[in-house]
């Protein structure tokens, strides 16, 4: 699963927690080619197990620790690197492992049960027509859905539902479909840095409104339903800011650099390497500036589209906070 964030970046968003993040791009390789994926995948090295251990140690000792996110490409293509990172992470570091599900098997499920602190984030966008349609000739829906009963039994399991411009009108139906399969923990991710048309943005807004209503009804009825977006925010829409270690061992303040249309900026924005890492202050400062160069590179239309999609996600979160906090208070009183 690509290193996509699940953020609402609007300044009005209240986040319950805001933790440092390590984004460990263990490999850029992937056997899928999702229509919305910007990550450059071919001709790149993988991280090694020692690199993963080094990154975790740096994250804790130099950058203060927090959440460690194992991204790709598809991380399960380098199992020894994933396992080295998890084994090296101290208990106070929350580890999130993203996957497209194509390499999940009984071995991995048993391993996840044996590592209950790891949160597995699975990419599943909805019904087969939409999920596989976005994967351009590499269908994975049936395989992933067949594994769901086992995955739903994992201690920590979240589904990322990516919403592309072409599927925005069906996003609420796809959300309902995923709930019908038993999914209760969601990330919602509008396709980012893509040219959304006005009618597609309108469809996204309507779908988010329907999804918000579904959350409100579920919470009012006492149902357990979780939306990770409520607890995550970032200064640059839809990307992860923090201690980013790319698969070639270079260090950045933001994983924007994975995107093919920003590839030429790697040299300019690299802050160091695992052998020569930047000071914590330099990393924080660069993270705050990360979005500044996007406009010139991506153009007005894409930036406006992204801002509008991000605003839709932020509105969804802001609508849900009152119901979320009311439900939390009811649970505390019970
Ligand atoms: S699963 Fe899709 S989104 Fe993730 S890295 Fe592969 S092509 Fe990109």
Please write the tens of the pLDDT for every residue from 216-256.
999 999 999 999 999 876 666 666 788 999 999 999 998 87
pLDDT at 238: 60
At 323, list the tokens: 């119901």
Ligand 1 nearest-atom number relative to CA 123: 1
Confidence (pTM): 0.90
Q: How far is the CA of 224 from the centre of ligand 1 (A)?
A: 29
Q: How far is the CA of 167 from the centre of ligand 1 (A)?
A: 17
The CB of 100 under 6 Å from ligand 1? The reply is yes
Question: Strand locations in 5-143, DSSP E?
Answer: 21-25, 67-71, 94-99, 118-123
Quote the DSSP letter at residue 174. Answer: H
User: What does the alpha-carbon distance between residue 323 and residue 314 come to, in Å, rounded to a whole number?
Assistant: 15
Ligand 1 nearest-atom number relative to CA 73: 5
The CB of 99 under 6 Å from ligand 1? The reply is no
pLDDT at 331: 86
Q: How far is the CA of 100 from the centre of ligand 1 (A)?
A: 7
Q: How far is the CA of 63 from the centre of ligand 1 (A)?
A: 28
Spelled out in words, what is the top-level CATH class assigned to the domain 19-333?
Answer: alpha beta
Q: Which residues of the chain are under the pLDDT cut of 70? A: 1-19, 233-239, 290-293
User: What does the alpha-carbon distance between residue 129 and residue 82 come to, in Å, rounded to a whole number?
Assistant: 31
The CB of 72 under 6 Å from ligand 1? The reply is yes
In our burial notation (b when 16+ CB lie closer than 10 A, e otherwise), range 266-275 reads: eeebbbeebe
pLDDT at 208: 98
The CB of 3 under 6 Å from ligand 1? The reply is no
Ligand 1 nearest-atom number relative to CA 4: 3
What's the angle, vertex CA 152, arms to CA 20 and CA 129, rounded to 5? 95
pLDDT at 80: 98
Q: Is 22 left (phi over 0), alpha (psi -120 to 50) or beta?
A: beta
């Amino acid at each position: 699963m690509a290193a996509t964030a699940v953020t609402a970046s609007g300044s009005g968003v209240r986040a319950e927690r805001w933790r440092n993040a390590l984004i460990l791009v263990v490999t850029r390789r992937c056997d899928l080619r999702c229509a919305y994926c910007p990550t450059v995948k071919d001709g790149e090295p993988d991280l090694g197990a020692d690199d993963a251990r080094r990154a975790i140690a740096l994250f804790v000792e130099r950058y203060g620790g927090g959440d460690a996110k194992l991204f790709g490409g598809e991380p399960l293509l380098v199992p020894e690197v994933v396992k080295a990172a998890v084994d090296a992470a101290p208990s106070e570091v929350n580890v999130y492992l993203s996957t497209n599900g194509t390499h999940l098997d009984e071995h991995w499920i048993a391993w996840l049960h044996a590592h209950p602190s790891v949160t597995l984030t699975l990419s599943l966008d909805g019904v087969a027509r939409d999920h596989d349609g976005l994967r351009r000739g590499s269908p994975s829906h049936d395989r992933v859905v067949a594994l769901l009963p086992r995955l739903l039994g994992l201690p920590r399991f979240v589904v990322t539902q990516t919403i592309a411009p072409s599927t925005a009108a069906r996003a609420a139906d796809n959300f309902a479909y995923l709930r019908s399969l038993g999914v209760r923990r969601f990330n919602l991710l509008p396709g980012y840095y893509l040219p959304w048309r006005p009618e597609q943005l309108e469809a996204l807004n309507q779908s988010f409104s329907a999804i918000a209503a579904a959350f409100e009804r579920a919470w009012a009825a006492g149902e357990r339903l979780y939306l990770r977006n409520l607890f995550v925010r970032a200064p640059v829409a839809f990307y992860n800011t923090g201690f980013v270690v790319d698969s070639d061992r270079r260090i950045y303040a933001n994983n924007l650099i994975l995107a093919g249309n920003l590839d030429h900026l790697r040299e300019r924005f690299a802050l160091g390497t695992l052998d020569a890492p930047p000071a914590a202050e330099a990393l924080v400062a660069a993270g705050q500036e990360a979005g500044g160069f996007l406009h010139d590179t991506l153009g007005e239309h894409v930036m406006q589209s992204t801002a509008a999609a991000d605003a839709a996600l932020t509105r969804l979160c802001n609508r849900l906070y009152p119901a979320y906090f009311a439900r939390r208070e009811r649970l505390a009183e019970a």
